[in-house]
């Protein structure tokens, strides 16, 4: 036993320095790429709007760099263990079985990376003769990011196995994977003969099993798609690479890392604190006043950061200490925080809105406009529940802020409060696109932090940029893998069958909306929001159009439904993130969640029943 422990420690000592060196080698280039993207897009806006001399190459170069940001960011996320996964089953296993499950999950990810890397290399080689129209850059410069990222993640996976897994566990996991692959190979003629029914094996059963094993969501999608293409079709694996490339490098997705970065900059620049302080001075003395401040803060901050995790992390630390002083129960606070996160999914510039626009070709500007009122409806429903549950609060020790205090807080917060307005006007007035507007927000936030609030900590900027790369890399990897899986679902004929089944739903338009709500609540709780939308939105939006449902209204309905699934216990990962941010055990917050979940459902049904709430200002 001691020998094995010593050997494990030696492997860790050998691998750790090399992984640290790799981390440093990744973080600086990806940070430079994101800074370069900000500069390139900002130069395009300035040249086009102020100098009236558009630069034809900015979008082209930004698109070349985006795939490198996505793959290097995904690699950093893999190195940090930040790829999204469902771990609640694995964490409840005994230690020995948990280690076996984690080893199997890591080897499944490694299997995907090893087998997809050669087709990725060939894909890059085949892209070399193609050049960009303005700059003449070979497309292989961009496409090379795919094999580079795959190979780097494979090296990290090998290092992790070397450090953490016992040889017996690795051999057992390899045997399981080998037996599974052999069974699929022997069953290949039968799998091809049963048509689209084989999707149940690869995607329903296969993806579900891998998610329960804790395999990161993007890799679970990738492994299932690779197995489907290999054993149930005659298509080459290179088609997966092409679909991943197409799905994760759409230019509109450049808004993902830039808006995540904007959310972090907003925090260190003091904007969130200024806004929340003003709201607290305004209504903090009312019964349940800080609950309203939390809802208002989430509504305002969501319009800036685009990331719900960043939103909750920005608002909760400011409000929770004072809420506790006033006797608020921690579980109640986290319940409201989580459900406000679900409410804020439709507030621009939400990453979910950007994703929906990129995969369905719905106007991003229209989605940004249509998302504000539905979120307000749901916020009012949550406020009603918050008022009801706080009706017995003792306010005898709470003093109303003086008019001068409110005015002073308003003056301090006014520059911060204007940021959502600036972002909205820049898009609607045609000054910048939905992708470019994030750069305007970044410059505005930095200027406010340096010149107005004077608390901008430059030492934290590098970490924020790398964090933005890691978060966005994990998201874009999921989008790419989900795009490949969506191709498999489409070419198998599943989309046609789904359309026929949905068209036959009893109740016509209303039956379709009801089924969509139930489906996306379930999908949101199981697959997370973005993967579910990437896979199913392109299939369902045309059906909704056939029923005469406006695409923006349908987007709001499915996004709110998905948000309920993401943040609802017992499996919604957003609920557990809110508990982690609030430092409250999930068991303490689960019971207070249900009245607020009821308010979310009531608001969602109202948005589904009244199209004007989504389309009235288009």
Domain finish residue from 231, 248, 265: 248
- Higher-pLDDT residue of 382 and 535 is 382
Instruction: Give the chain's domain count.
Output: 2
Mean pLDDT score, 429-456: 84
Please tell me whether residues 140 and 255 are part of one structural domain: no
Which residues in 349-498 belong to E strands, given as ranges?
none
Please tell me whether residues 74 and 41 are part of one structural domain: yes
Task: Dig out the tokens for 480 from the structure.
Answer: 């790419």
3-state secondary structure of 303: helix
Sign of CA dihedral 583, 586, 591, 596: positive
Please tell me whether residues 196 and 255 are part of one structural domain: no
Partners of 270 in the beta sheet?
Answer: none
Residue 431 DSSP code? S
Mean pLDDT score, 450-465: 88
Count of beta carbons in the 10 Å neighbourhood of residue 175? 10
Closest residue by Cα to residue 170 from 250, 123, 100: 100
Task: Specify the pLDDT at position 142.
Answer: 92
Please tell me whether residues 221 and 298 are part of one structural domain: no
pLDDT for 307-334, tens place per residue?
566 667 667 766 777 777 767 788 888 8
Task: Specify the pLDDT at position 395.
Answer: 61
Contact 304, 423 (CB under 8 A): yes
Domain finish residue from 248, 264, 295: 248
Q: Which domain holds residue 128?
A: 2-248
pLDDT for 48-79, tens place per residue?
888 888 888 888 898 889 999 999 999 999 99
Tell me: pLDDT of 511 over 80: yes
Task: Specify the pLDDT at position 537.
Answer: 84
- Rounded CA separation 289/510 (Å): 37
- Higher-pLDDT residue of 481 and 308 is 481
Please tell me whether residues 317 and 367 are part of one structural domain: yes
Task: Specify the pLDDT at position 299.
Answer: 82
Please tell me whether residues 258 and 237 are part of one structural domain: no
Please tell me whether residues 227 and 342 are part of one structural domain: no
Please tell me whether residues 209 and 312 are part of one structural domain: no
Q: Round the average pLDDT of the chain to a whole number and report it.
A: 83
- Rounded CA separation 199/205 (Å): 9
**125 Cβ partners below 8 Å, 6+ apart?**
140
Lowest mean pLDDT among 88-102, 234-248, 420-434: 420-434
Tell me: pLDDT of 481 over 70: yes
Mean pLDDT score, 505-528: 82
Contact 269, 453 (CB under 8 A): yes
Domain finish residue from 213, 248, 283: 248
Task: Dig out the tokens for 615 from the structure.
Answer: 């389309």
Please tell me whether residues 255 and 232 are part of one structural domain: no
Please tell me whether residues 311 and 211 are part of one structural domain: no
Mean pLDDT score, 166-186: 92
Lowest mean pLDDT among 128-142, 361-375, 475-489: 475-489
Task: Specify the pLDDT at position 526.
Answer: 62
- Rounded CA separation 346/436 (Å): 20
Please tell me whether residues 274 and 243 are part of one structural domain: no
- Rounded CA separation 516/506 (Å): 13
């Amino acid at each position: 036993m001691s020998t094995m422990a010593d050997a494990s420690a030696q492997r860790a000592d050998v691998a750790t320095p090399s992984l640290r060196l790799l981390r440093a080698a990744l973080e600086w280039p990806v940070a430079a790429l994101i800074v370069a993207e900000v500069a390139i897009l900002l130069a395009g806006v300035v040249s086009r709007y102020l100098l009236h001399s558009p630069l034809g190459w900015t979008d082209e170069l930004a698109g070349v760099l985006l795939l490198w940001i996505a793959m290097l960011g995904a690699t950093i996320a893999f190195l940090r263990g930040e790829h999204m996964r469902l771990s609640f089953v694995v964490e409840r296993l005994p230690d020995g079985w948990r280690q076996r499950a984690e080893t199997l999950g890591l080897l499944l990810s490694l299997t995907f990376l090893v087998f997809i890397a050669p087709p990725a290399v060939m894909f890059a080689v085949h892209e070399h003769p193609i050049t960009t129209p303005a700059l003449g850059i070979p497309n292989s410069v961009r496409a090379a990011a795919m094999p580079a990222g795959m190979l780097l993640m494979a090296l990290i996976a090998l290092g992790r196995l070397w450090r953490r897994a016992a040889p017996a566990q690795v051999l057992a996991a390899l045997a399981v994977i080998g037996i599974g692959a052999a069974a699929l190979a022997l069953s290949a003629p039968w799998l091809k003969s049963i048509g689209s029914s084989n999707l149940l094996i690869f995607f329903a059963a296969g993806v579900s099993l891998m998610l329960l094993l804790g395999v990161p969501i993007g890799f679970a999608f990738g492994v299932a798609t690779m197995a489907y293409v290999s054993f149930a079709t005659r298509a080459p694996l290179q088609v997966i690479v092409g679909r991943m490339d197409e799905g994760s490098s759409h230019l509109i997705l450049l808004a993902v890392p830039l808006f995540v970065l904007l959310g972090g900059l907003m925090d260190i620049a003091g904007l969130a604190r200024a806004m929340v302080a003003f709201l607290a001075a305004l209504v903090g003395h009312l019964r349940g006043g800080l609950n309203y401040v939390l809802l208002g803060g989430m509504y305002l901050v969501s319009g800036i950061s685009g990331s719900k995790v960043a939103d909750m992390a920005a608002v909760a630390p400011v409000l929770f200490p004072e809420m506790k002083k006033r006797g608020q129960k921690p579980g109640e606070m986290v319940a409201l925080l989580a459900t406000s996160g679900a409410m804020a999914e439709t507030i621009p510039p939400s990453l979910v809105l950007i994703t929906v626009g990129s995969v369905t070709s719905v106007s991003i500007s229209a989605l940004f406009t249509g998302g504000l009122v539905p979120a307000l409806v749901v916020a009012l429903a949550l406020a009603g529940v918050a008022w009801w549950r706080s009706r017995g609060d003792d306010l005898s020790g709470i003093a109303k802020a003086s008019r001068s205090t409110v005015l002073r807080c308003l003056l301090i917060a006014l520059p911060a409060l204007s940021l959502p307005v600036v972002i909205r006007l820049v898009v609607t007035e045609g000054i910048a696109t939905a992708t470019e507007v994030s750069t305007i927000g970044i410059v505005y936030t930095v200027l406010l932090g340096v010149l107005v609030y004077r608390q901008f900590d430059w030492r934290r900027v590098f970490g924020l940029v790398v964090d933005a790369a890691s978060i966005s890399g994990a998201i874009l990897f999921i989008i790419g893998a989900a795009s490949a899986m969506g191709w498999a679902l489409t070419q198998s004929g599943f989309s046609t069958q789904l359309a026929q089944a949905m068209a036959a739903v009893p109740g016509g338009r209303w039956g379709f909306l009801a089924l969509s709500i139930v489906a996306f609540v379930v999908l949101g709780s199981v697959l997370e929001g973005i993967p579910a939308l990437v896979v199913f939105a392109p299939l369902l939006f045309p059906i909704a159009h056939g029923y005469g449902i406006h695409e923006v209204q349908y987007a709001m309905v499915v996004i709110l439904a998905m948000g309920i699934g993401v943040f609802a216990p017992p499996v919604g990962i957003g609920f557990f993130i809110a508990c982690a941010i609030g430092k409250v055990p999930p068991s303490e917050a689960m019971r207070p969640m249900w009245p607020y979940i009821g308010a979310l459902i009531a608001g969602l049904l109202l948005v589904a029943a009244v199209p004007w709430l989504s389309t009235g200002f288009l």
